[in-house]
Each structure stands twice: as structure tokens, then as C-alpha cells.
Amino acid sequence: LIPGDITLDVRRRERLGFDEAILAGPKSPEHLTAILDRAAEHAMSLLLTRLDAARFEALPERHRSRIDYETQSRTGFYGAPAALRPRTEAAVITAGTSDVPVGREAARTLRYYGYGCLEIADVGVAGLWRLLDRVAEIVDMRVIIVAAGMDAALPSVVGGLVPGAVIAVPTSIGYGVAAGGTTALHAALASCAPGITVVNIDNGYGAACAALRIIRHG
């Protein structure tokens, strides 16, 4: 990588209210270091996603020490996150324990921008009582993010129970026809509940950004 290979979107925060987010997954430590160097120059904060522990450990100490890293979600805050706002307007619901990392990526992204959320985990529809027991907690939320893999029946059921914005995040959890998350994606898109929206497979970050576009303006 040479200097000309990076053109940070330094005007993004003023335009959209978002900092640049760096999808660390496919990038080498050298590549990430070059980006963080550039961010340090501009004194920009960044959100790092899909930063697995090994890649985090491989960063130079000068950057690692500035990163608030969380293992499960594989996210890092480079620079200080916004102060936490008092009111909780979003919930993040996951269908199975394997979906938790995706849900937590959403929760961490919200937190980076100063928003807390209620996390409810492992309430898939095969044991429906687990969700029904907790409907009262989510019925007044402005945004409910629902992360589910396999058949992704949960967003449809949630969307039929609460009036707020429902953002489905299909996850890649599953095997056979569910492998990779396409079944979950299609099921969420084809939901019979009115007004559910969907983001890309495993895109907890994107769901949180969508939630922020909603919560901040209104």
C-alpha cells in the first residue's frame, strides 16, 4: 500500500453524522496500520469491525493502546466513543446464542455513537414463550434490531407484535440450505409482517447505522 491508496472520507461526519468504519476482516495488519496512521494524522475517530483478536494483537502498540476492543463482537473503538445518552430507545434481539456476536456488533456500534440498547438473547420461535414473556419490554421501543439465522422466523413474529421500526439482520448461522445466511435473508425479506426492513447478512454494524438514522432524526 502506498499513500495514494487511501482517500479517507473526512467529510462524512458532517454530512451523515457517521465516522468512517473500517471493515478489518479482509485487511492485513500493514493495511490497517496505514489506515490508522492516516486517521491519527487527521485526528479522526474510527470504528473497527470484524477485527478478530489475532489481528488486533498484531497491530502496533501505538494504535492498540488507543483501541477499546471487545472480543465477542470483534469491534474496536479507535478514539473515544460519544458519551452515553440517558434514554434507551433501541432493543437488540437474537434468536440463538450463535447469533449473539452479530447482535453485539450492533449494540457496540450504537454505543460508539452514545446510544445504549436493551439486549435480549436466545429467544427463537421454537420456544415461543421466551419471547412472549418479554414483549412488554420492547413494545414501546423506537427501533428493534432482530438478528436471526437458519429460517429467521423471529423477525416476522416480532414484526407482528410491536409497532416500532424492525430491522432484521440475517445471520450466516446454519448448515445445509441455511449455510451462509441466504435462507435467513430471503425469509426476512419475504416476511408476512408489514414494514420489516433488512440489511446484509451478519451486518450488525449496518443495522445499528440504520437505527441511528432513525433515532437521531425525529
Residues 6+ apart with CB under 8 A from 129: none
Size of the site for a second copy (CB under 8 A): 102
Write down the least CB distance from residue 84 to a second copy, Å: 18
Of residues 44-103, which lie at the interface with a second copy (CB under 8 A)?
A: 72, 94-98, 100
Residue in 15, 86, 87, 136 binding a second copy, rule: CB under 8 A: 15
Nearer to a second copy, 59 or 188 (CB): 188
Of residues 123-152, which lie at the interface with a second copy (CB under 8 A)?
A: 123-130, 142, 150-152
Quote the CA–CA distance of 160 and 156 in Å, as a whole number: 6
Q: Kindly give the residue spans of alpha helices, DSSP state H, lying in 50-203.
A: 53-57, 61-64, 100-112, 129-132, 135-138, 154-159, 182-189
Write down the least CB distance from residue 80 to a second copy, Å: 20
Quote the CA–CA distance of 78 and 64 in Å, as a whole number: 9
Q: Any contact of residue 42 with a second copy (CB under 8 A)?
A: no
Quote the CA–CA distance of 210 and 143 in Å, as a whole number: 9
Q: Any contact of residue 204 with a second copy (CB under 8 A)?
A: no
Q: Any contact of residue 41 with a second copy (CB under 8 A)?
A: no
Please spell the DSSP secondary structure of 54-80, one letter per residue. HHHHTS-HHHHTTEEEETTTTEEEESP
Stretch that binds a second copy, among 2-10, 59-67, 79-87 (CB under 8 A): 2-10
